[in-house]
């Protein structure tokens, strides 16, 4: 009995897990908690220390489990819900544990995890709210872009863009049902509107292409009928008009359009190749005419300037007769040759005009009358100057002589004009 009491007393010594329990003489082990003392098991026939050690090892296992749980929660390895479930499980194990140690301390440590779990839940809710808002903003942006595409005319890029938007939509989390359904309805409606408009557009294009094919088939027939024509001028104009109508017809179906264009172009090439050959032969003939006209011009230009108007006019009439007897010249020679011919005509006209001006009696009389008036004015001014000098009016005399000098210059010009008329 005394040995048992000593054993029990030894079991409560120290500050380790064993300090929270005791061992009865019969080997029954008790644990002390805030709720009181309770038996956790019996290990008969062994020393008290060994019996106590058996149950303290159980406590150490629980303490290790609590420590591991604390670290996993601190590291974020567990979700808040999983952590809460683990805390509940461990708490149940601690509450009824057949172990000896600071079980109340373990419960306190488990309770201390609650605020951290609350923080994690709050962070999770905030993260979910942020993700939800980002998803809502993204879906709204997709909807707005889809609605713009729906009223646009990008029939090629729009299809690919709608496909990309739909793929991205599927990767986003769902929102609350009302919001998600509303945004999806707008997106789906926009896509449906675009698809209907695109189909209608292509149907209209197909109809237009079929109509263009019919028109171009008729144009090809006309072009092929003209390919052998030798009416170079009128047929060239006809092909120009056919090309205008071809462009106005629009595009036919691709395969037909290319085939019809090759036939149309072949007809044109046939005609214009023949025209080019004919024009080359014609240009050779016209070049001979141009050389002859250049010789006539050189001969006439050698007589310039015209000194005798009558002879100049006779020369020009002869030039025109010989000029008209020659045929056409190449197109690029027409203007240079005509400019030289016109220059000869102008030289002849100028010579006749100069002769008329020199022999015009009325003009000579007007020039002589002007000279007489100037001479009289000069004489009067000189007399005024002499009289002013006699009176000592130096300034007045100088002004009179200056005016007389001016009139004398005018007189010289008038006398030259009289001399021209005399010539």
3-state secondary structure 95-163: HCCCCCCCHHHHHHHHHHHHHHHHHHHHHHHHHHHHHHHHHHHHHHHHHHHHHHHHHCCCCCHHHHHHH
Q: Is residue 390 part of a domain?
A: yes
255 and 341, same structural domain? no
Q: What is the mean pLDDT of residues 329-337?
A: 88
**pLDDT of res. 23:** 94
**pLDDT of res. 360:** 66
Dist. CA 66–CA 106, nearest whole Å: 7
**Lowest model confidence (mean pLDDT) among 70-74, 133-137, 254-258, 305-309:** 254-258
pTM comes to 0.40
Give 345-366 pLDDT, tens digit per residue.
898 898 888 777 776 677 677 7
Structure tokens at 31: 């644990």
Alpha helices in 251-360 (DSSP H): 254-301, 309-325, 331-359
197 and 96, same structural domain? no
184 and 165, same structural domain? yes
218 and 142, same structural domain? no
Give 35-49 pLDDT, tens digit per residue.
899 999 999 989 999
Q: Is residue 87 part of a domain?
A: yes
> From start to end of 197-272, where are the E strands?
none
82 and 7, same structural domain? yes
Helix, coil or strand: residue 252: coil
32 and 110, same structural domain? yes
Q: What is the mean pLDDT of residues 340-349?
A: 90
Asked if residues 78 and 47 have their Cβ atoms less than 8 Å apart, the reply is no
Q: Is residue 179 part of a domain?
A: yes
Dist. CA 388–CA 123, nearest whole Å: 122
Q: Is residue 277 part of a domain?
A: no
Structure tokens at 330: 């190449």
Domain range enclosing 388: 361-422
**pLDDT of res. 8:** 42
309 and 194, same structural domain? no
Q: Is residue 313 part of a domain?
A: yes
Task: For residue 29, name the pLDDT band (cuts at 50, 70, 90).
Answer: very high
Q: What is the DSSP letter of 32?
A: E
**pLDDT of res. 75:** 87
Q: Quick one: what percent of the chain has pLDDT higher than 90? A: 33
Q: Is residue 113 part of a domain?
A: yes
Query: 38 φ, ψ to 5°?
Result: -145, 150
110 and 39, same structural domain? yes
The residue count for the chain:
423
Q: What is the mean pLDDT of residues 239-252?
A: 88
Contacts for 236-241: CB closer than 8 Å, 24+ residues apart: 236/272, 236/275, 239/268, 239/271, 239/272
Task: For residue 421, name the pLDDT band (cuts at 50, 70, 90).
Answer: low
Give 199-245 pLDDT, tens digit per residue.
888 888 788 888 888 888 888 898 888 888 888 889 999 989 989 99
332 and 382, same structural domain? no
**pLDDT of res. 3:** 34
Boundary-marking domain end, from 191, 206, 221: 206
Structure tokens at 290: 């141009």
Give 144-164 pLDDT, tens digit per residue.
989 898 898 888 888 899 899
Q: What is the mean pLDDT of residues 302-316?
A: 88
**Lowest model confidence (mean pLDDT) among 92-106, 252-266, 301-315, 408-422:** 408-422
Say how many domains are in the chain. 5
**pLDDT of res. 139:** 86
Question: ∠415-416-420 over CA atoms, to 5°?
Answer: 115
Q: What is the mean pLDDT of residues 387-402?
A: 88
Boundary-marking domain end, from 125, 160, 192: 125
Q: Is the pLDDT of residue 186 over 50?
A: yes
Dist. CA 335–CA 224, nearest whole Å: 36
Q: Is the pLDDT of residue 416 over 90?
A: no
Q: What is the mean pLDDT of residues 167-177?
A: 90
Q: Is residue 259 part of a domain?
A: yes
172 and 75, same structural domain? no
Higher pLDDT, 121 or 266: 266
94 and 57, same structural domain? yes
Boundary-marking domain end, from 85, 106, 125: 125
Average pLDDT, the chain: 86
Task: For residue 192, name the pLDDT band (cuts at 50, 70, 90).
Answer: very high
**pLDDT of res. 15:** 61
Q: Is residue 278 part of a domain?
A: no
């Amino acid at each position: 009995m005394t040995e048992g009491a000593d054993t029990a007393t030894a079991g409560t010594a120290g500050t380790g897990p064993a300090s929270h329990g005791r061992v009865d003489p019969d080997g029954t082990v008790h644990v002390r908690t805030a709720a009181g003392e309770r038996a956790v098991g019996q290990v008969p026939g062994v020393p008290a220390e060994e019996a106590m050690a058996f149950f303290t090892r159980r406590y150490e296992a629980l303490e290790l489990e609590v420590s591991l749980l604390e670290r996993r929660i601190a590291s974020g390895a567990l979700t808040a819900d999983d952590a809460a479930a683990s805390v509940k499980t461990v708490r149940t194990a601690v509450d009824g544990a057949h172990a000896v140690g600071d079980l109340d301390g373990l419960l306190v440590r488990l309770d201390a995890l609650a605020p951290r779990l609350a923080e994690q839940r709050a962070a999770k809710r905030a993260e979910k709210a942020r993700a939800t808002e980002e998803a809502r903003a993204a879906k709204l942006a997709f909807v707005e872009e889809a609605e713009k595409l729906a009223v646009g005319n990008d029939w090629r890029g729009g299809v690919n863009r709608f496909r990309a938007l739909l793929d991205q939509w599927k990767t986003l989390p769902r929102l609350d049902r009302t919001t998600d359904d509303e945004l999806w309805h707008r997106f789906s409606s926009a896509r449906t509107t675009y698809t209907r408009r695109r189909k209608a557009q292509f149907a209209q294009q197909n109809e237009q292409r079929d109509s263009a094919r019919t028109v171009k088939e008729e144009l090809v027939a006309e072009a092929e009928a003209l390919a052998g024509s030798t009416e170079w001028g009128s047929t060239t104009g006809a092909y120009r008009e056919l090309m205008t109508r071809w462009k106005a017809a629009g595009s036919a179906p691709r395969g037909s359009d290319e085939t019809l264009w090759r036939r149309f172009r072949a007809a044109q090439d046939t005609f214009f190749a023949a025209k080019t050959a004919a024009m080359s032969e014609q240009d050779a003939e016209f070049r001979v005419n141009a050389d002859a006209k250049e010789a006539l011009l050189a001969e006439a230009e050698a007589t310039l300037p015209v000194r005798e108007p009558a002879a100049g006019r006779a020369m020009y009439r002869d030039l025109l007769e010989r000029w008209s007897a020659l045929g056409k010249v190449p197109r690029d020679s027409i203007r240079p040759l005509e400019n030289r011919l016109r220059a000869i005509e102008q030289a002849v006209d100028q010579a006749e005009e100069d002769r008329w001006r020199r022999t015009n009696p009325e003009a000579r009389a007007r020039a002589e009358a002007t000279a007489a008036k100037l001479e009289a004015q000069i004489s009067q001014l000189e007399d005024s100057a002499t009289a002013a000098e006699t009176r000592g009016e130096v300034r007045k005399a100088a002004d009179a002589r200056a005016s007389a000098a001016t009139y004398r210059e005018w007189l010289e010009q008038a006398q030259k004009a009289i001399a021209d008329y005399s010539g």
